[in-house]
């Protein structure tokens, strides 16, 4: 499975960035081998539409899912349309820990609209 994690720095052991559309980096991880590749978020400095642009980038990475702290309604809609699962990082400190928690089934998905009934982050 290919998972994208929003991070504050370009490394698998970097802290998870709670922002999806404006997060600093996307770390793309193969959950079987833990091989990874980091990319700067091309939408981070966008003047508008960052969530949709970030969702498009994630979809282009052929990701099965994305782990972050929150997904705005436009990003939620775009990721859903692309068939990309969304997971809240919860108490994970690093991208590696978030992936391990996902593999263990310990991460929650935001229900419905990400702004309505948002899951707690911690």
CATH of the domain at 15: 3.30.420.130
Domain membership of residue 114 (yes or no) is no
pLDDT of residue 114: 35
Q: pTM above 0.85?
A: yes
Domain count, the chain: 1
Structural domain for 81, as ranges: 2-103
> What are 20-47's pLDDT values in tens digits?
999 999 999 999 999 999 999 999 998 8
- For 68, other C-beta atoms within 10 Å of its C-beta total 28
pLDDT of residue 21: 95
Spell out, as residue ranges, where the chain has pLDDT lower than 70: 111-122
């Amino acid at each position: 499975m290919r998972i994208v994690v929003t991070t504050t720095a370009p490394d698998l052991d970097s802290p998870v960035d709670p922002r999806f559309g404006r997060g600093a980096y996307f770390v793309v991880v193969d959950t079987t081998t833990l091989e990874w590749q980091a990319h700067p978020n091309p939408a981070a400095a966008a003047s508008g539409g960052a969530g949709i642009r970030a969702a498009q980038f994630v979809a282009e990475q052929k990701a099965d899912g994305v782990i972050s702290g929150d997904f705005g309604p436009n990003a939620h809609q775009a990721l859903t349309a692309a068939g990309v699962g969304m997971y809240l990082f919860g108490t994970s400190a690093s991208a590696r820990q978030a992936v391990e928690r996902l593999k263990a089934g310990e991460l929650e998905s935001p229900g419905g609209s990400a702004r309505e009934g948002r899951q707690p982050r911690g």
